[in-house]
Amino acid sequence: MRRFVFRDSAIVIVTMGLFVLSPENMALQICLGVGLGLSAYLFHEWAHWLGARLVNAKIDSPDFILSPFLFSFDSEANSTRQFVHMTWPGFLATAIYITAYDLLLPDTLWGQIAWWMAVALTLATVIIEGPLALWAVLREDLPPVEIPFLGENRVLNQLFDRIQGG
């Protein structure tokens, strides 16, 4: 996990450096906007990770340093309670960054890029993670939420078994 801390800290530090420089150069403004968008995403992901760790959830970490995900949640080894406690911090982080960006971002190229990335991430959270969280809470059952090719994924494993079996 240490390498993801270094990777994500580097992204945030470079973004903060660009923010302090307040660049007028268009390429640097694009980098700043993308950096702020990535920082929002990382805030969301680290909030999920912290929630999972606080309830001792079984999670699988990626081997690939460029993975956009910090972990895959094991829906067979964890409880619905652990899933809910892993999920809600990500929703809270999303609410915090979308509110902060709405209130604080200037109407500049970098501000618009960061804003629209935050909106896209918020929509993805609502569309992808929202139904999974509702399913878990309302049915008191965990849907398979493992990330493909990152740890065990029972849905993909079942599919591969069917393909191999004929």
pLDDT of residue 64: 84
The packing angle between helices 109-124 and 80-104, to 10°, is 160
- Encoding tokens for residue 81? 């309670």
Contact 72, 147 (CB under 8 A): yes
Query: Averaged over 131-156, what is the pLDDT?
Result: 77
**144, 155 contact by CB (below 8 A):** yes
- What is the tens place of the pLDDT at every residue in 1-42? 899 999 999 999 999 999 999 889 999 999 999 999 999 999
Confidence (pLDDT) at 63: 82
Which pTM was predicted? 0.86
